[in-house]
Amino acid sequence: MTIKVGDTIPSMKLMVATADGPKETSTDEIFKGKKVVLFAVPGAFTPTCSAKHLPGFVQNADAFKAKGVDTVACISVNDAFVMGAWGKDQGTGEKVTMLADGAAAFAKALGLELDLNARGMGWRSQRYALVAEDGKVTHLGVEAPGGFEVSKAESILAVL
């Protein structure tokens, strides 16, 4: 079943890259008591993700803060090392938290997994963005296959 507005983000572990290496975090730590924008990409360093999706959130980080967003986070089915390297390459700094969903467990828990096994990419996440307040989803925009409209930074800013 796919997560929907009104649902609570499932409690589970994720990984984040730090200067000291990968560190475990939890969705409870990320979402509890905060207003969070989480966007998911099918893969780090992939064309649309690197040219448009992540850069839009980095460029609009101050606008999200101005609208009361505590955390902007990017998640992908990659390991923490890849997410850390991609964040460094994209200049995310403190603007966007880079989360690793290495085995697609989070994507599957949300019902937003994407089967790209036939294309040699394994299980991935669909492209989406959500807004959650204290762990409860208040907005969800899931892209149609190949789409990039409802999950881009400007679209999410418009609903805040």
Element (H, E) at 155: helix 153-159
Structural domains present in the chain:
13-159 (3.40.30.10)
79: left (phi over 0), alpha (psi -120 to 50) or beta: beta
Given this model, what pLDDT does residue 129 score? 98
Residue-wise DSSP of 84-105: HHHHHHHT-TTTSEEEE-TTSH
How confident is the prediction along the chain (160 residues), in pLDDT tens digits per residue?
799 999 999 999 999 988 888 999 999 999 999 999 999 999 899 888 888 999 999 999 999 999 999 999 999 999 999 999 999 999 999 999 999 999 999 999 999 998 887 887 779 899 999 999 999 999 999 999 889 999 999 999 999 9
The answer to whether residues 69 and 5 touch, using CB atoms and an 8 Å cutoff, is: no
Catalytic residues: 49
Cα-based distances in Å from 67 to 35, 72, 131, 135, 140:
10, 12, 12, 17, 17
Tens digit of each residue's pLDDT (9 = 90 or more) over 80-89? 999 999 999 9
61, 72 in Cβ contact below 8 A? yes
